[in-house]
Amino acid sequence: MQYYLLIPFLPFAAFIINILFGRKIIKDNAHWVSTLAVAGSWIVSVMTLMDVLSGLSVNQNLYTWMLSGNFKVSVGFLIDQLTAVMLIVVTTCSTLIHIYSIGYMHGDKGYYRFFSYLSLFTFCMLMLVMANNFLQLYFGWEGVGLCSYFLIGYYFDKKSASDAGKKAFIVNRFGDFGFGIGIFMIFITFGTTYYDEVFSQAAGHALTRVNFLGFDVHLMTLIALLLFCGSIGKSAQMPLHVWLPDAMEGPTPVSALIHAATMVTAGVFLVARCNPIFSLSETALIVVAMTGAITSLFAATIGLVQNDLKRIIAYSTVSQLGYMFLACGVGAYTAGVFHLYTHAFFKALLFLCAGSVMHAMGGELNIQKMGSLKKFMPITYWTMLLASLSIAGVPGLAGFFSKDEILWLAYSGASPVGKIVWAMGTLVAFLTAFYSFRLIFLTFHGRFRGTHEQEHHLHESPKTMTVPLMILCVGAVASGWVGIPHLVGGGAHFTEFMKPVLGHAEGHGTHAEEWMVMAISVAVGFSGIGLAYFMYVLRPELPGIVTQRFLAVHKVLFNKYYIDELYSFLIIRPTIWVAKNVLIGVTDARVIEAIVNGVPSAIGGFSRQLRKMQTGLLHNYATITAMGIFIIAAVMLLRNW
Amino acid sequence: MVPLNWYLILSAAVFSIGVFGFLTRRNIIIMFMSLELMLNAVNISLVAFSHYLQDLRGHVLVFFIITVAAAEASIGLAIIIALFKNKNTVHVDEMNEMKG
Amino acid sequence: MEQTMVNQAGFPILSCLIFLPLLGVAALLLVRRTNESLIRMVALITSIAGFLLSLPLFTSFDKTTYAMQFVEKQAWIPAWNINYHLGLDGISIMFVLLTTLVTILCVLISWNSVKMKTKEFYISILVVESAIIGVFCSLDFFLFYIFWEAMLIPMYLLIGVWGGPNRVYAAVKFFLYTLVGSVLMLVGIIVLYLYSGRNFNIVELASKVYPYDMQIWLFWAFFAAFAVKVPMFPVHTWLPDAHTEAPTAGSVILAAVLIKMGAYGFLRFSLPILPDASRAMTPVMMTLSVIAIIYGGIICLAQTDLKRLIAYSSVSHMGFVTLGIFALNTQGMEGGILQMLNHGIVTGGLFLGVGAIYDRTHTRQISDYGGVASVMPVYAAIFIVFTFASIGLPATNGFVGEFLILLGGFKASQLAGVLSASGIIIGAGYMLWLYQRVFFMETGQKVAGLKDVDFREMAALIPMVVLIFWIGIYPEAVMGFMHESVRHLLERVNDGSANGTSLTKNVMEIMK
């Protein structure tokens, strides 16, 4: 099955062709190159999935990338169940979003540039998920970060866009800092960075303790947490979540592909991939679960009050990513990846629908200025509604199955924090349903609150945009059906399929308990929807009253808990202040340069003093000479005395 | 026979006069003459020692000094004349071009 | 240590490389000074010929041995046992190639920007090339010192004559700074010469044993020369001034090859000749390196001058180099040597790029720019490759070097590894901010209507881009050269010398 190599290298070839020839030759035909390439990748991915289903797997090195002493790393590919699923997720979303972009980006002056970046992103993401060692994973990891930087800052003449791109990259670097050190620790511990060798040796180090910066720590906990730093950055978890909402400056297809479906889930993928390491450390798992749960709750509360269409969905993404980490943290890696997989469909769909709305509204993002769009754009409405139902956990839809599995395994699993995170997760499920439907009701129902001009232009989007919506909608509805739990008569095929890679987390509880968990999650989902309906359709004056009542809380939530301001105050401004006033102003200018310029000027000053002896008067010289002679003579005489 | 000491005392006296003159006078020509006095004082003692030690090398040295002094005097006077032409003075305190 | 004297090229290739630029100088002297196009053509042809002549080094180098290759040895001043002794090993070969390549690019980028004293300008460039190749090839300390100092004079002229408004200050500072260091090194060289029985042969000196306290003194004497050149914290302050004031070609030569001579000095002299002192001084050197990384990086955040920012980023990047070298393990040292090369390519490229736009706008103030990407898309694309290589993005050469250095540094000292890894965050910060302020946002007044890079500028910039990806994707292409030499060097440093350990240990115990 050597053809798997086509999967990453088709988009790469498309990138090369578009970036070299796009500006002058290909121009408005750039989408053909990129879309065909990624569609080819999708076909090969499906073939690969078939192979994996029939029991094949690949672990192959292409060539040696780095070699230095005993450090050896290859460009190599590992294809197993986890990779196969990720391949499907990435190539499916990518293909559909490529098609969608044809319509959405039509007429943009950087058309070829957009498609080259998309292809490059797809390539990097595929390299990331197909890696068979940590270094190549890191390659893909940084590569997708790079594309994210380019695509967020796609409208680079806007300051906010270029700021957001830069912010995304730098915040991610904070995470990568830990990730990189994690890779060092892995290499120093295991002498290799290949997954198979690392994971097979990991169990042998279950009890090892090491000295890290003077602290005696449990080795596996250390490695797991360092790797998790990378995940926190890439998957926008607390406290490095700040870049993702700003990333919405990018074109909407980018938000859908990179900041919802694929790249941001790389962190979850990393934890799932490294489950043999994480499973050896209860501490690390608790940290993962709690980070996930807290982020999830935190982002959901912010999402409640935002008015920016895309930012609401962005906070929703942060929240759902937290859900996935919550799952991984309680040992239910399969459930986490399952949610990753279903989430990719319904979240990409939500973003694309948002894009469709923006397209109709002429770039307007404030949902307070929308309303009644249902009758103008029925396809967008219905697909978005289904996606929202899916994310709210309405039974039968994709989101329901994955969310339910997470909550059940959190409730019943062995994790010491399981019950807590279950409670938080349930609360988040309620909030999610609420803000998702707040969005739907404000956007599509009620009366139109925008300008007349906008109203005049309202129209359904072209076919290239609506067809991907409908296809993704099928995914948002049906993708969960591969993982219907045994409880309701399903086969739990997804769990079975993943078992060789991710193990199998067993819930320990009775059927009654399982029914109860499911019932609670369904109930909170519906009550969230119901509350949103009550507040935004039946009693539209209510939100204003609530806001007035809890003004302080609203302000904190609306300003995202002031985290950005906090970072600016604690990190950015002090650093630049130090650079300007201490390092340049004092150390360089007053200490080092003082010495450097001081030595010559001291010598010069001494010389200037010395110069005064040169009076130019012959008598002074003669007197000094005579005195000198007398002194010498005197010394000689006295010495012999 | 005059003892050596007398010559030496004479030499020292002439030398001291030269030094004193060189240090106290401001007329550059007089200073120049004082310089010549000092040279001749040295010559006196050299000749005296030469005679005392019965070594002719002292005489030879004196001849050299006289020659060099003559050359020096001619150059020196030439410089003084040139200076006088420029400055219209032979007063050394007014010649401080070398002041640092 | 027995060295086989081989010269697989069959002719004195290194001498040819050193003297070819001087031949070009001789030719330039014959050209009438008003005939500027002919002057440029002669310089270009000479530099290209030099590059082509250096290619056989690359192809016929024997990677399986650490021994010196392409060796030439002629008695020069037999009375003092001074020889004309040249040779290359896996550490130095890449820098000779880099020098010959960079010279071409410097000639190209100065094509239109140097309008005054053109003839003297190209003469200076070619003399610098000759001297730098000499430094990397010399195996005789006396010869080495001559080249080392000879390089200063044309460089001094390049900065002082063709530089910016404050050029004289910068040139004098550069000259004196480096001279002070070099003089101390000269003392060290003489001490070694006398101690070793009147021997200037670097290879032989590197196989002898010296008393511990003498090693320490010599180490600091050499440190003075090499640390200034690198430049290490706290003797870095000449670099921003020199870089900022130098003409583009001068900055490129400074960044790409000249400051590599310092790190090369550590590798060629300090480590193998003074292994015990080097080991003992590792903590100091690593500390200074880490300070340089963070200090240089943070200072970049507050710079308002394009060239000055890149100059300070050099301080930071060279901190990585010295960190890797003094990690004294394979990954660190190989990463360090690779990073020297990388820094030459990337920072050389950045200065070439800045030069290209400076020719158009005549301003170095970052705030005068903005929106360059809109008017010069090709240039922006090339520059972002340099930017990301400087940040150390995987698939660029910067990643391979920095990763290996950090890995080696982390192995040697966890704290140093962790602290210097923060340099990659800062690096991303200042480079992306720079890129944003220059290329993104609204088009500035001075930028509007600029022409994109022309063919000549592309010819100067593209080789760097190709090298960045080539080394980033297949680093073995250059690292293959250094494996044996580094292994040998580390053996020498870490084991001391086989027959002399007892003596050294005794001295060390006495010291305690």
Residue whose pair of structure tokens reads 């890191």 in the numeric block:
A138
Interfacial C residues in 331-360 facing A (CB < 8 Å): 331, 334-335
Alpha-helical (H) ranges within A330-462 are: 333-361, 378-392, 398-412, 418-444, 452-457
Q: pLDDT of chain C along its 512 residues, tens only? A: 334 456 776 788 888 899 999 999 999 898 888 888 898 899 999 999 999 998 888 888 888 888 888 888 888 888 888 889 898 888 889 899 999 999 999 999 888 888 888 888 999 999 999 999 999 999 999 999 999 999 989 999 999 888 888 888 889 888 988 888 888 999 999 988 888 888 888 888 888 888 888 888 899 999 988 998 888 888 888 888 888 888 989 999 988 888 899 999 999 888 888 888 888 889 999 999 999 998 888 888 888 888 889 999 999 999 999 999 998 888 999 999 999 999 999 999 999 999 888 888 888 888 888 888 888 888 888 999 999 999 988 889 989 999 999 999 998 888 988 999 888 888 888 998 889 888 888 887 888 888 888 888 888 889 999 999 999 999 988 888 888 889 888 888 887 544 444 444 544 544 44
Q: By the 8 A CB rule, do C284 and C156 touch?
A: no
Distance CA C93, CA C72 (A): 15
Mean pLDDT by 10 residues, chain A (641 residues): 83 89 80 88 89 85 87 88 89 89 83 88 91 90 90 86 88 90 90 88 84 86 91 88 86 86 89 89 89 90 86 89 89 87 89 86 80 81 88 85 86 82 89 88 82 79 84 84 78 80 76 84 88 83 80 80 82 81 76 80 87 80 87 88 62
pLDDT, position C497: 47
C271 is written with which tokens? 């480590």
Instruction: Name subunits touching B (3+ CB pairs < 8 A).
Output: A
Interfacial B residues in 41-80 facing A (CB < 8 Å): none
Q: By the 8 A CB rule, do A450 and A85 touch?
A: no
pLDDT, position C359: 86
Distance CA C316, CA C221 (A): 23
CA distances from A598 to A466, A601, B10, C177, C420 (A): 72, 5, 57, 13, 31
A521 CB burial (10 A radius; 0-12, 13-18, 19+): buried
Q: Chain A within 8 Å of B92 (Cβ-Cβ)?
A: yes
* Residues A449-470: tens digit of each pLDDT: 877 777 777 788 888 888 888 8
* Residues C276-331: tens digit of each pLDDT: 888 888 999 999 999 999 888 888 888 888 888 999 999 999 999 999 999 888 89
First to last CA, chain C: 30
Smallest Cα–Cα separation from B99: which of A624, A609, A612? A612
Smallest Cα–Cα separation from C267: which of C238, C235, C230? C230
Q: Which residues does A641 contact at the CB level (< 8 Å), separation at least 6?
A: none
Residue A308 — φ and ψ, nearest 5°? -85, 120
**CA quadruple A96, C388, C293, C266: dihedral positive or negative?**
positive
Distance CA A187, CA C409 (A): 13
Neighbours of A604 (CB within 10 A): 9
Q: Quick one: which H or E segment has residue A272?
A: helix A266-273
A–C contact: 3+ Cβ pairs < 8 A = yes
The DSSP code sequence of A201-259 is HHGGGTT-EEEETTEEEEHHHHHHHHHHHHHHHHTT-TTSTTHHHHGGGS-HHHHHIII
Q: Chain C within 8 Å of A579 (Cβ-Cβ)?
A: yes
DSSP-derived secondary structure letter, C140 = B
- Judged by DSSP in three states, A68 sits in strand
Question: Do residue A162 and residue C395 have CB atoms under 8 angstroms apart?
Answer: no
Neighbours of B57 (CB within 10 A): 11
Cis amide prior to A11 (ω within 30 degrees)? no
Distance CA A75, CA C111 (A): 41
Question: Do residue C441 and residue A146 have CB atoms under 8 angstroms apart?
Answer: no
Distance CA A27, CA A38 (A): 18
Q: What is the CA radius of gyration of chain B?
A: 17
Smallest Cα–Cα separation from C493: which of C302, C295, C287, C330? C330
Question: What residues of B are in contact with residue A619 (Cβ under 8 Å)?
Answer: 23, 26, 92-93
* Residue among C378, C410, C483 whose CB faces A184 most closely: C410
Q: Chain C within 8 Å of A553 (Cβ-Cβ)?
A: no
Distance CA A242, CA A236 (A): 7
Q: By the 8 A CB rule, do A94 and A73 touch?
A: no
DSSP-derived secondary structure letter, A78 = E
SS3 content of chain B, % helix, strand, coil (to 5): 80, 0, 15
Amino acid at C167: R
CA dihedral A268, A274, A279, A280 (to 10 degrees): -140
Q: Quick one: which H or E segment has residue C75?
A: strand C69-77
Distance CA B84, CA A486 (A): 125
Distance CA C405, CA C337 (A): 9
Rounded to the nearest angstrom, the minimum Cα separation between A85 and chain C is 25
Instruction: Name subunits touching A (3+ CB pairs < 8 A).
Output: B, C
* Residues C425-477: tens digit of each pLDDT: 888 889 988 898 888 888 878 888 888 888 888 888 899 999 999 999 999 88
ipTM of the complex: 0.88
Question: What residues of C are in contact with residue A162 (Cβ under 8 Å)?
Answer: 436, 440-441
Question: Do residue A23 and residue C377 have CB atoms under 8 angstroms apart?
Answer: yes
Amino acid at C185: M
Question: What residues of A are in contact with residue B42 (Cβ under 8 Å)?
Answer: none
Rounded to the nearest angstrom, the minimum Cα separation between C424 and chain A is 7
Residue C213 — φ and ψ, nearest 5°? -70, -35
Pairing verdict, β A209-212 and A71-79 = unpaired
Q: Which residues does C362 contact at the CB level (< 8 Å), separation at least 6?
A: none
pLDDT, position C58: 87
Residue of A nearest to B18 (CA): A626
The DSSP code sequence of A139-177 is HHHHHHHHHHHHHHTSSTTSHHHHHHHHHHHHHHHHHHH
